[in-house]
């Protein structure tokens, strides 16, 4: 009863071209049935993400651990709220990150949970940079 071969094949890794995404923009795409946000973060957003006392976070994690070094302006997260699975809205909430309308969880510009009932940060899917403007997810 585990996922069958065609489901697994449809979930094979995909490549995404990042060049059309301008600074400050983000796109939402689907992989393995899950929505994925790819954000081209501004300098301000990166600074805000890094200026936090990590120990005070509900799910402590540094911003560096959530992005690829040399590509800090790219944030790739699975857009599923870790509370009960709704899709948070990008560029919303008091941290200019994500806001989940279902029960009010607020995430920051690194996709980390700040307020609300969600227990964990937004999950980062497995991905790597195949070139400066292209990533492979999965």
Burial class (CB in 10 A: 0-12, 13-18, 19+), 14: middle
Name which of 49 and 100 has its Cβ closer to other proteins.
100
Task: Give the closest residue to 114 by CA, choosing from 72, 52, 44, 35.
Answer: 52
- Tell me the closest approach of the beta carbon of residue 99 to other proteins, in angstroms: 12
- Tell me the closest approach of the beta carbon of residue 94 to other proteins, in angstroms: 16
Name which of 62 and 136 has its Cβ closer to other proteins.
136
Q: Where do contacts with other proteins occur on this chain (CB under 8 A)? A: 1-4, 7, 11, 28, 30, 32-35, 83-87, 101-104, 117, 119
Name which of 49 and 118 has its Cβ closer to other proteins.
118
Q: Confirm whether 83 is a catalytic residue.
A: no
- Could you write out the DSSP letters of every residue in 15-82? EEE-TT--TT-EEEEEETTEEEEEEE--HHHHHHHHSS-GGGSSS---SGGGS-TT-TTEEEEE---T
- Tell me the closest approach of the beta carbon of residue 2 to other proteins, in angstroms: 6
Active centre residues (catalytic): 103
């Amino acid at each position: 009863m585990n996922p069958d071969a065609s489901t697994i094949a449809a979930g094979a890794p995909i490549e995404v071209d990042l060049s059309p995404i301008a600074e400050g923009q983000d796109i939402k795409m689907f992989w393995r049935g899950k929505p994925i946000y790819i954000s081209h973060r501004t300098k301000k957003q990166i600074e805000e993400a890094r200026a936090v006392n990590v120990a005070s976070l509900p799910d402590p994690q540094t911003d560096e651990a959530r992005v690829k070094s040399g590509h800090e302006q790219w944030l790739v997260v699975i857009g599923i709220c870790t509370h009960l699975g709704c899709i948070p809205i990008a560029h919303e909430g008091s941290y200019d990150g994500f806001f989940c309308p279902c029960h009010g969880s607020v995430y920051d510009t690194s996709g980390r949970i700040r307020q609300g009932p969600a227990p964990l940060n937004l999950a980062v899917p497995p991905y790597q940079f195949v070139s400066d403007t292209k990533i492979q997810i999965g």
